[in-house]
Chains A and B, each alone.
Chain A
Amino acid sequence: MENFDDKYKKRNPFTVPEGYFEGLTGRIMDRLEEQRKPRKMKFLQRIKPYLGLVAIFLLALLVIQAIYPLTLDKERSLQKERESQVALSSEGEEDIFDSGFNPTSEEIIEYLASEVDSYELIYAENY
């Protein structure tokens, strides 16, 4: 170690720019002063917490807009289906009843009398 020391002499080989240490204290104190000042918040920083909420709201709006027309379309197609079924069933009714079928009241009574027995008629007259 002694030879080692003789050769290198513990000399510091690094240097600094001229006057560096003279100005160092002032620069450090300035830096501290900067740190201690309450920073003025920029407009963007102030509204930053609300920006997230607005973004969520807009996203929700977009999702609703994208989904709602689909359900509307489904409802419309269901409505159309129902209407067409009604139309079909009314067509069927027309097929069952002949347009020329128009019985007189005597014909109806006669038909009913043939279908109902005498006991039922007596019961209907008394009550």
Chain B
Amino acid sequence: MDFIKDEDIIRLFHTDHKEQEAFRLLVDKYKERLYWHVRKIVIDHADTDDILQNVFVKIWQGLKEFRYESKLYTWMYRIATNESLNFLSEKSRKVYGNSDAISDYLENTLEGDVYFSGDSIQKELQRAILTLSDRQRLIFNMKYFEDMSYDDMAEVLNVAVGTLKATYHHAVKKIEESLKIVDTLN
């Protein structure tokens, strides 16, 4: 599905009576990538499914006005990121009474996640990632797991490339420290 260019999908979307067909192509092309992006942020599968549907509804609503001020896929990533972070802050406010308790909420979600197939080492890594701040976690996941370029990340997060590199470097150091502590404990 990746062989269809974004420009062609947009052109089709603006053709009379082809909106649905074009959007179906767009969903097919990006659903998995956006799913994993959201899933890494919110951890839980059911939450990811809800958020992803909202994300595509917003993409549909905004696509008519999309003017290529950024790449289509970084624009969609930005919508997905914002939806996920809003969801988390709302959820932790409801569960813990304040929006700063996100990492506690995510740690509980990770422990109870039935759709986690990783071994104990993978779980250790995920726990270590959850000790990062929201911003560090987001940047680490996008770089380490999704292999996104710093330029694209800069477009998605509206942050300078230099800041992204420094943040990623600090995130890796912090994770390594957390994992060392776990190793010594074991």
Chain B binds chain A: yes
Q: Which residue of B lies closest to A35 (CB)?
A: B57
Is A31's CB under 8 angstroms from B27's CB? no
**Quick check: B56 and A28 within 8 Å, CB to CB?**
yes
Contact A11 B118 (CB under 8 A): yes
Chain B residues whose C-beta falls within 8 Å of the C-beta of A21 in the assembled complex? 31-32, 35
Interface string of A2-46 (1 = CB under 8 A from B): 001001101111111100110011011101100100000000000
Distance of A13 Cα from B45 Cα, bound (Å): 13
Query: Does B53 count as interface, using CB distance less than 8 angstroms?
Result: yes
A1-B172, A25-B27, A28-B53 as given contacts; A8 in contact with B122, CB under 8 Å? yes
Flag if B116 contacts A25 (CB, 8 Å).
no
Q: A4-B176, A21-B32 are in contact. Are A31 and B122 (CB under 8 A)?
A: no
| Docked-complex contact B31 and A24, CB < 8 angstroms | yes
Contact between chains at B121 and A8 (CB < 8 Å): yes
Chain A residues contacting B145 (CB-CB under 8 Å) are 10, 12
Bin the interface of chain A by size. Answer: 20 to 34
A20 and B31 CA atoms in complex are apart in Å by 11
A15 touches B116 (CB 8 A): yes
Chain A, residue nearest B144 (CB): A10
Residue from B24, B60, B117, B118 within 8 A of A25 (CB atoms)? B24
Whether the pair B117, A14 counts as a contact (CB closer than 8 A) is: yes
- Please report the C-alpha to C-alpha distance between residue A1 and residue B32 in the assembled complex, in whole angstroms: 27
Binary contact track B36-80/A, C-beta < 8 Å → 1, others 0: 100110010100010011001100100000000000000000000
On whether the beta carbons of A14 and B116 are closer than 8 Å, the reply is yes
B123 interface contact, C-beta 8 A: yes
Task: Please tell me if the beta carbons of B32 and A13 are within 8 angstroms of each other in the complex.
Answer: no
User: Complex formed: what's the CA distance from A10 to B146 in Å?
Assistant: 9
Q: How far is the CA of A25 from the CA of B25 in the complex (A)?
A: 9
- Tell yes or no: B126 within 8 A of A by CB: yes
CB atoms of A15 and B56 under 8 A apart: no
Query: Which residues of chain B have C-beta atoms less than 8 A from A12's C-beta?
Result: 36, 145
A-B contact pairs, 10 of them (CB 8 A): A4-B175, A4-B176, A7-B121, A12-B145, A13-B116, A13-B118, A25-B28, A28-B31, A28-B53, A31-B57
Chain A residues engaging chain B, CB cutoff 8 angstroms? 1, 4, 7-8, 10-17, 20-21, 24-25, 27-29, 31-32, 35
